[in-house]
Chain A
Amino acid sequence: MNFATSLMLIGAELGLCLVALVLLLLSAWLPRAAARVLTIAAASALAGASIYTLALLLNGTAGPDANAFGALLRLDAFSAVAKLLIYLSTFACLVVTPSFFERRGQYRGEYPVLLLFNAVGMSLLVSATDLMTLYIGLELSSLSSYILASFARSDMRSAEAGLKYFILGGLASGILLYGMSLVYGFAGSTNFDAIRTALAGELGTGALFGIVLVFAGLAFKISAVPFHMWTPDVYDGAPTPVTTFFAGAPKIAAVAILTRLSFSAFGEQFAAWQQIVAFVALASIVVGALGAIGQENLKRVLAYSSINNVGFLLIGLATGTAAGVSAMLIYLAIYAVMTLGSFVALLMLHDADGVPMETFGSIAGLAQRKPALAWALLVLMFSLAGIPPLFGFYAKLVVFQAAVDAGLIALATVGIAASVIGAFYYIKFVKVMFFDARPSSDARAEVARNPAGHWSVLAASTVLLSPLGFLLTPAMERWAAAAASALFLTA
């Protein structure tokens, strides 16, 4: 192992760490009003890291050449694509954050610092090829997430969300660690490739138990169904910019590492984990679709929608083919844009006092009051529902295509049926905004003006999801295929 090569490969993470440390010192000494400047610095650091990662991706290092620090990390095309998604969605979250907290006088320089450390943790996570790197990346990202969830500490709901997330997250980490220790015990190594070799052939009960526990721990982090109970509460209670972040980057990172772990460490045991993933996928799709129907709170609806989407993502994983993984990555990218856009739209729904309007009742007749916002939400919701001319349709199409090609027809059928059920609440948004009369009782409930940063993120995501997005499909398909094949290089 060449130390200089390793440092070159993790340049993006190193840069982010250094910027985060400097910003931390600055935030300790500068007045609180400087937090906005620190946010801009952090956002530009993320932009720089994205460019560095893109250069690395185009450079095309693959296989053992991409290993850093003696196979603790592998910075291949897969991790580069996942990291680009993570950095870009974190960047967008930083853009929309400050004004929300500043209205309440809660914004502090630590917020961008924690977000940067979170990004470092997530990029370690997606490039991990060792159980230890996986765990350390996961903890770095989760610990900062817990703090972010209760960042508005004077708000009871925010504190409750943080505590709930912390306790359940700690439990999930414990389950994951237990599974990892069993896998280590039976494989004799923490390295993914070594585990793959050691576990080849007939799988013992102990090792199977370990694999199941590892999957359970990670399923918590992606809020897949038997472990999804925390999601609506945390998404609802956490400040909306933080929820925007939670629904995007950490989910991308956890899905990516689940994929890498499945194919590189447990690649020989496809039959063992396929059932688990298929069950979790189905359960997530169904629960996500049905659970949202009775909800009145928009943040809770979107939380169930994200559970539902995780199910679709896992269909791609359950196929166990390179085509399935590449379909999953395309879905992941489009999902990130959809969820970002819809949470930013929620963020923009507040009255002049900054009180959020987060129930169906409060957005009634939005089309007359704020036509631009209503139309953007219409595009986002139809895209989430997967209605054809929009880009969200393409995401669902590639995933179901991969499932049918891999012979998982039953899974695809149930998925399509559940996505029709799920369309109900997406269309409810549109119905309430466009066809319901605005409540005349409170004249005060007027949507206030929003800064340009919000509008630009919303406009960018709307344009990406409009039929114009289909222009991107060749590039997306090429990169997703490159990333998926990087994963199968070890096979």
Chain B
Amino acid sequence: MIQLFAFYMFATIVILAAVMVILARNPVHSVLWLILAFFNAAGLMVLVGAEFVAVLLVIVYVGAVAVLFLFVVMMLDIDVASMRAGFVRNAPLGFAVALVLLAEMVLGFGAYRAGGLALGTPAAPSQALPGLSNIQNVGALLYTRYVFLFEMAGLILLVAMIGAIVLTHRDRRGSAARQDIARQIGRKPVDATVMTRPKVGEGVEL
């Protein structure tokens, strides 16, 4: 019973939050709604007994959302001061969202303890190994049955990396921003310092 209740709550909030991501006028608010959506999606994952995916969702997307935040703040022309002015006014909304999240966590944990939702019988090849945790099951599949796809996914990341470098890297030889460690180490005191013996009352001429 508690699972069903939790399911409908998570599902409703996921959809509402996703709608708000699109409708919110302030991009920072959109990002906040996005976080709420991700948390609730993670809750759904917990309900079906995929706690590893749930944790992954939170960890990976919190990282991604942090980056998104940076982009929003850096790229878009938002007046941060005027937004900060609204902090007091918006604080009750913020607390409400936090409260919802807290209640959900408690409820989700209870539902998780009560056992997963029965979704149907899994097909034979994806049957979980008994007595092993989620992570061990995923690992056992990832490095045996799907090792080829795993490697190919690695290639995709490599291509993304090459792309980032090809499209942004500039050769900065000769500019001040480039560090030449050998030159730094090879520098002798003689090259950089001058000993002078100025007379009293006269300046130093460099």
Residues of A with Cβ closer than 8 Å to B? Answer: 6, 10, 17, 24, 68-70, 72-73, 108, 110, 113-114, 117, 120, 124, 132-133, 136-137, 139-140, 143-144, 146-147, 150-151, 153, 162, 188-189, 194
Contacts and interface: CB of A to CB of B under 8 A. Distances in A.
Interface string B116-130: 000010110100000
Nearest to B144: A70
Nearest to B171: A32
Interface of B: 120, 122-123, 125, 145-149, 152-153, 155-156, 158-160, 162-163, 165-167
A10 B149 CA distance: 13
B162 A113 contact: yes
Given A72-B146, A136-B156, A114 B120 contact: no
B149 A133 contact: yes
B123 A147 contact: no
A147 B155 contact: no
Contacts of A147: 159, 162-163, 166-167
A21 to B, nearest CB: 8
A150 B167 CA distance: 8
B156 A24 contact: no
Nearest to B164: A147
Given A117-B155, A189-B123, A143 B163 contact: yes
A136 B152 contact: yes
Contact of A69 (B148, B162, B165): B148
Contacts of A143: 156, 159-160, 163
A116 B79 CA distance: 46
Contacts of B148: 6, 10, 68-69, 72-73
Contact of B163 (A68, A73, A144, A188): A144
B156 A110 contact: no
Contacts of A69: 145, 147-148
Contacts of A17: 155
Nearest to A137: B152
Most chain A Cβ neighbours within 10 Å, of B120, B147, B153, B166:
B166
B162 A110 contact: yes
Contact of B167 (A120, A139, A153): A153
B159 A188 contact: no
A188 B162 contact: no
Contacts of A73: 148
Contacts of B123: 188-189, 194
Given A120-B155, A140-B155, A188-B120, A146 B163 contact: yes
Given A69-B145, A114-B159, A136-B149, 17 more contacts: A10-B148, A69-B147, A72-B146, A73-B148, A120-B155, A124-B152, A132-B146, A132-B149, A133-B152, A136-B152, A137-B152, A143-B159, A143-B160, A153-B167, A188-B120, A189-B123, A189-B125
Contacts of B166: 108, 110, 114, 147, 151, 153
Contacts of A150: 167
Most chain A Cβ neighbours within 10 Å, of B122, B162, B167:
B162
A121 B162 CA distance: 15
A108 B163 CA distance: 12
Contacts of B160: 143
Contacts of A70: 145
Nearest to A1: B145
B163 to A, nearest CB: 4
